Amino acid sequence: MARIVKNPLGELSGKAGELVFKNGKNGAYISSRPGPTRKKPSAVKQLQRNKMKLVMDFLIPIQGFIKECYFPFQKATSGFHAAKSYYLKHALLFEDESYRINYPKALISFGDLRPAEGVSLELFPGSHSFKINWGDNSHQAMAFPNDRLLLACYAPETNRLFYKTNLANRNDASYTFQLDNSWEGMIVHLWIGFHQPEEQRASASAYVGEFEF
């Protein structure tokens, strides 16, 4: 590290190529940019990296969906950052020295609308279809007849996630959906929720369960 005694260019700070300029209490200094560390991370640090990677691998494919359907109560916080924070704190299980997604705790939508209640699932394996039923709670607080249904399907085996919005009204109380043949033989996790696209409002999603065709 070298100290800059007289600098005709004025105050310098930041990186320029392989050089780093810093301002300290005794003046300006220049040093070379540090290279990547070769030190192996500790077991605790590696576990934290794996934890973050697991969450990001799950959320990044649905980043657009989260932008549409995840509305934290703190307006200054983006939906993606709120979702990431929630997953890291509440939606993981630690088993056999590693983390995995706790699917019933996972949220794929969030907001101030009333969640789906009394949810059940009917499967039609021959057509790769399923029917979701829910109670019409549109007469209760923070629920409206024209709230629109959203759903998401996730297959851990292939890390495949599919989502769809604007499907049916809350007061329809049921909806039938068909997956294509490529989902056959995979365990699929399913969530539903409601949203109002024009108002940028959504409900916390409800975990319907897992199934396999």
CATH code matching the domain that covers 43-212, chosen among 3.40.390.10, 1.10.760.10, 2.60.40.10, 1.10.10.10: 2.60.40.10
* pTM score, whole prediction: 0.80
SS (H, E, C) 62-76: HHHHHHHHECCCCCC
Instruction: State pLDDT tens for residues 97-155.
Output: 899 999 999 999 999 999 999 999 999 998 999 999 999 999 999 999 999 999 999 99
Lowest-pLDDT range of 24-38, 121-135, 153-167, 178-192: 24-38
User: Helix (H, G, I), strand (E, B), or coil: what is residue 13?
Assistant: coil
Residue linked to tokens 């990677």? 53
Phi–psi pair at 27, nearest 5 degrees: 120, -165
* Spatial contact of 110 and 72, defined as CB atoms under 8 Å apart: yes
179 HSE (CA, 13 A, CB side) = 29
**Any idea where the domains of the chain sit in the sequence?**
43-212
* Distances from the Cα of 205 to the Cα of 47, 59, 112, 129, 199, angstroms: 28, 15, 11, 21, 17
Residues 6+ apart with CB under 8 A from 64: none
Cα–Cα nearest to 211, from 188, 181, 195: 188
